[in-house]
Amino acid sequence: MNVMFDLVNIYYIPQFQPIIAHLLDRGHDVCLVCDRRNFDVAYDSVIKGFGWKSIWVENDQKAAQLYKEKSPDWIIFGNTFKYLDQLSPETKTAQLGHGIGPKPSYYHKSSTPMTVRFIEGVKRLEKIKELYPNDEFVQVGFSKLDPIFNASEQGLNLDSLGLNKERQTMLYAPTFNPSSLECFPDDWPLDFSKFNILIKPHSFTYTIEKYSGQRTKLKKWAEYENVHVADPNELSLVPYLSSADILISEASSTLFEFVALDKPVVVCDFYKLKWSYRGIFRYRFKKRFGTDNVLYRDIGPHVKSYKALKSEVHNQLAHPEQYQKQRKQYTLDHVGPTDGSASARIVEYLETHS
């Protein structure tokens, strides 16, 4: 079986990686098709480092031409693809979301139907079937977390990072927009000096010019001895999820991933909005980031300011059972099975329907 992965953005890789590994273990041919428009040149060597076959294309139209020429058995997409009608009739297509966050776009990606879309939790499956009753959806779980659930992910070596493995570890994983990152003080690690602090920002924080202010903050925080800021080439959040005791984030799908590990989260309800989401334009923000599809208000405590964060972190670590019932429900509804076999289910479907 020949399978191609449509790699529009570098941050799709952690979702694709366990599936690729399973395909290769079963003797299938795999190739990444990388869209040059969305990649910093530094990522060329990162992708080569995986040892997978890869082909670079200039844009999605060139990708479509390649797919038609190669006529693979399957193409796995992480988003919509507007040239589906140009593909060979012999090629089947699958959509696999790279995240499970609260944005309505999670559902809208299925407006252009593919052969199948793989879904994570039961509530998401129910909702998407309601929206698109004539399309094929299969619940499999969340492949990105397979390495944690099947114990193949060992986490970070805190000693090698200069951190104290005897301390509790916080993970701050802000998204790029809207982000709480620029609302944190330059010296905030001092307020949590008895903790290890892992900081794993979105890849766009490193690669998009207008987020230079976020990069300035990261450089300042990295100077503190209790802080490790992820390198831009560290693509996967999974080792960080595995190593942390508590997560701080805002509207990131990381919240759903972390609660699936039955560990507490604190949600930042303070963030910097770009000008086109402020004032009279705030309706744009609500339209894009509205939570009518996925309510996460009780996934963990919400804090309205950085000032409120410190006490809440201590409280959640002292009483992790406080939101345990909600974490279990969120996992069932949005993440799906936690047996470490989501990738195996995906590959089995591809093989059975080739």
Q: Please check the confidence at residue 292 and state whether its pLDDT lies above 50.
A: no
**How confident is the model at residue 272, as a pLDDT?**
60
Q: How confident is the model at residue 278, as a pLDDT?
A: 46
Which of the two residues, 99 and 61, has the higher pLDDT score? 61
Cβ atoms of 259 and 301 closer than 8 Å: no
pLDDT at 101 over 70: no
Tell me the pLDDT tens digit for each residue of 7-38: 998 889 999 999 999 999 999 999 999 999 87
State both tokens at 215: 């990069």
pLDDT in tens, 154-186: 999 999 999 999 999 999 998 877 788 989 999
Residue 235 has what pLDDT? 87
The 10s digit of each residue's pLDDT in 127-157 is: 999 999 999 999 999 999 999 999 999 999 9
Beta strands in the chain (DSSP E): 2-7, 29-35, 53-57, 74-77, 92-96, 116-119, 137-139, 169-172, 196-199, 227-229, 246-249, 265-268, 302-303
Helix or strand or coil: residue 112? coil
In sequence order, the β-bridge partners of residue 30 are 3
Measure the CA–CA gap between 4 and 138, rounded to whole angstroms.
20
Look at residue 286 in the predicted model and tell me its pLDDT: 54
Mean pLDDT along residues 303-325: 94
Smallest CA-to-CA distance from 17 within 2, 30, 29, 26 is with: 30
User: Distance between CA atoms of 286 and 246, rounded to whole angstroms?
Assistant: 28
Burial class (CB in 10 A: 0-12, 13-18, 19+), 318: exposed
Residue 247 pLDDT > 90, yes or no?
yes
Distance CA 95, CA 348 (A): 15
**Mean pLDDT calculated for residue range 115-127:** 95
For the segment 193-213, what is each residue's pLDDT rounded down to a tens digit? Answer: 999 999 999 878 777 777 788
Q: Domains in the chain, please, with CATH?
A: 2-149+339-352 (3.40.50.2000), 169-335 (3.40.50.12580)
- Between CA 217 and CA 212 the distance in angstroms is 9
Cα–Cα distances in Å, from 187 out to 169, 179, 212?
18, 18, 18
pTM: 0.90
Say which residue the tokens 């191609």 belong to. 4
Confidence at residue 293, expressed as pLDDT on a 0 to 100 scale: 37
